[in-house]
Amino acid sequence: MGTHAELVIRLREFAAARNWDQFHSPKNLTMALAGEVGELVAELQWLSDSEIEAGLQTESPLRDAVENEMADVLIYLARLADIAGVDLYRAAEAKVERNERRYPVAQSYGSAVKYTRLPANGNP
Ligand SMILES: [Mg+2]
């Protein structure tokens, strides 16, 4: 299993070897990403939670399909971040820190209430 940096380099090489950089604009990559998220959604739609849970636990056509679409999502997200100059992990860490402030454990434990509806929340 490689690192994220190795994946980014491999995607750069993949695109450069095919002269595809010209197609990898932020807009195009965002649309491709949305398309792949849609493909992931399509694999799960109409299935019950228990059917999904069973399908993901073992080697199965569902697991293969979900894995493939998750890989597509990651690939386009990684490529978009690279083209846009975004450090995905720094951005994600900042977001998690923000969410930790938005959702204090004492107010959010076991609750799915959005932070804007929590009492006495500063909404950072
Ligand atoms: Mg796909």
pLDDT of residue 19: 98
User: Which of 9, 83, 72, 84 lies closest to 43 in space, CA to CA?
Assistant: 72
pLDDT of residue 121: 54
Gap from CA of 92 to ligand 1 centroid (Å): 23
* pLDDT by 10s per residue, the chain, length 124: 689 999 999 999 999 999 999 999 999 999 999 999 999 999 999 999 999 999 999 899 999 999 999 999 999 999 999 999 999 999 999 999 999 999 999 999 999 999 999 876 555 5
Gap from CA of 101 to ligand 1 centroid (Å): 35
Helices 61-84, 88-102: inter-axial angle, 10-degree rounding: 100
User: Which of 40, 36, 66 lies closest to 53 in space, CA to CA?
Assistant: 66
Instruction: Please report, for residues 51, 73, 88, 124, the alpha-carbon distance to residue 56 in angstroms, rounded to integers and kept in the order given.
Output: 9, 18, 27, 36
pLDDT of residue 22: 98
Gap from CA of 35 to ligand 1 centroid (Å): 8
Helix runs in the chain, H state only: 4-17, 26-44, 49-57, 61-84, 88-102, 105-108
* pLDDT tens profile 20-44: 999 999 999 999 999 999 999 999 9
Gap from CA of 39 to ligand 1 centroid (Å): 6
Gap from CA of 36 to ligand 1 centroid (Å): 5
- Pairwise CA distance, residues 88 & 78, whole Å: 8
